[in-house]
Amino acid sequence: MSPFNLETCARPNILALEPYRCARDDYKDDGTKVLLDANENAYGPPISPSAAASLNSSDDGPSIDLLGLHRYPDPHQEPLKQLLCDLRTTHAHTTKLLTPANLFVGVGSDEAIDALLRCFCIPGRDRILVCPPTYGMYSVSAQANDVGLLKIPLLPAPDFAIDVPAILAALSAPDATTIKIIYLCSPGNPTGSLLAKSDVAQILAHPTWNGLVVVDEAYVDYAPDEASLAEWVTEHPNLVVMQTLSKAFGLAGIRLGAAFTSPPIARLLNALKAPYNISSPTSALASYALSAEGLARMRESRAKLVSQRERVLREMPSIAGVGRLRGGTDSNFLLFEMLNGKGEPDNGVALRVYERLAENRGVVVRFRGKEHGCNGCLRITVGTEDEVTKFLEALERTLAEVRAE
């Protein structure tokens, strides 16, 4: 059993924080009241009824009340949170139910990353633990908040598993009290590998460390069914599971992220956030995406992307100059080595291929060769059938040119 104690782990000033009280906390906008409490513009936005109707004219998707934008959005987003709970309550890990009390919703996962740092890490003293190669915003947020960084790399490719003994040793060291948060990415970015549940469980169960384990599941909908650990937050008081609608749901533009956690931690995050951090259009679009119709459409597009992922896995190895797959196949991207004439992974080759694909053939991938354990690697996002066709043809020609030089 983890010795996690919120009262001694969180910053005292955050524990004492009184959240901003919104105008809509007492009386909701139910369409029957004269609302003169929030200093809103009663005449509404400069959008004519005909323009609003035109923007909502498509039958293919949700309509948004563009003329209602003069009212502040719901500060609590309980209906949206319930939809997220319904999605992740699978009973694959526990019989307990996720409820809106387990949730913080924010501007992408990045808001949750930063909010957790501000809740639990004292600037200039505390640290977070990350496992490279991993998502870069953990380090960026730590630096912005004057929080230290301890790096314990993942085990070598192709598995990119957590180095559990090294992490447990760090959490048992004399200075472990300054490690407040561990950020784990599963499936990893740029690795594409799903972390073993048993490894995460060992870290959660450390007998003396008082801190948070944050599992970033941005790509979890591309992994096998029931891969998400969101339900685990009902069993582990020191676990946070972050998710987003930016990836499998195809809604990167609305910037909607969620953090599942215990109700006490969720209360801290919600007390810290800006009063109306989720806009009305964002809430409406996200709610549609999480409806039965929206989920059916998401699963349809996901199936197409998974099919193209399998195609890339089949066809890439036959291209001269393509090396090994590094990492896993649990996301919507793949990490492949680019080889030099000696058959070795080569950052110089990978960088030239990356640049020429973009500049000469209009195909943009990501050079990841400077990341730990990713020498000579390009990260390729899986696209549509036409995009994958164009990519494979462009890659074969570009590699031939580069390797001939």
pLDDT tens, the chain, 405 aa long:
789 999 999 999 999 998 888 877 777 777 788 888 888 888 888 887 777 777 777 666 677 777 688 889 999 999 999 999 999 999 988 899 999 999 999 999 999 999 999 999 999 999 999 999 999 999 999 999 999 999 999 999 999 999 999 999 999 999 999 999 999 999 999 999 999 999 999 999 999 999 999 999 999 999 998 899 999 999 999 999 999 999 999 999 999 999 999 999 999 999 999 999 999 999 999 999 999 999 999 999 999 999 999 999 999 999 999 999 999 999 999 999 999 999 999 999 999 999 999 999 999 999 999 999 999 999 999 999 999 999 999 999 999 999 888
Give the pLDDT score at 23. Answer: 76
CB 265 within 8 A of CB 101: no
Same fold, 6-22+72-290 and 296-404: no
Q: Which token pair is 200?
A: 């995460």
Give the ranges where 238-377 is alpha helix by DSSP (H).
263-272, 280-289, 292-315, 347-361
Give the ranges where 186-291 is alpha helix by DSSP (H).
197-204, 263-272, 280-289
- What are residue 206's phi and psi, to 5 degrees? -55, 130
Give the pLDDT score at 58. Answer: 66
Q: Which long-range contacts (CB under 8 A, 24 or more apart) does 395-400 make?
A: 395/316, 395/319, 395/322, 395/353, 395/357, 395/363, 396/319, 396/320, 397/361, 398/353, 398/356, 398/357, 398/360, 398/361, 399/319, 399/320, 399/321, 399/322, 399/338, 399/349, 399/353, 400/320, 400/321
DSSP 246: S
Q: Which CATH superfamily is 296-404 part of?
A: Aspartate Aminotransferase, domain 1 (3.90.1150.10)
Strands 212-216 and 366-367: unpaired
What residue spans define the domains of the chain?
6-22+72-290, 296-404
Give the pLDDT score at 59. Answer: 65
372 burial type by CB count under 10 A (0-12 exposed, 13-18 middle, 19+ buried):
middle
Q: Which token pair is 241?
A: 């599971």
How would CATH label the architecture of 6-22+72-290? Answer: 3-Layer(aba) Sandwich (3.40)
CB 239 within 8 A of CB 233: yes
Residue 291's identity, in one-letter code, is S
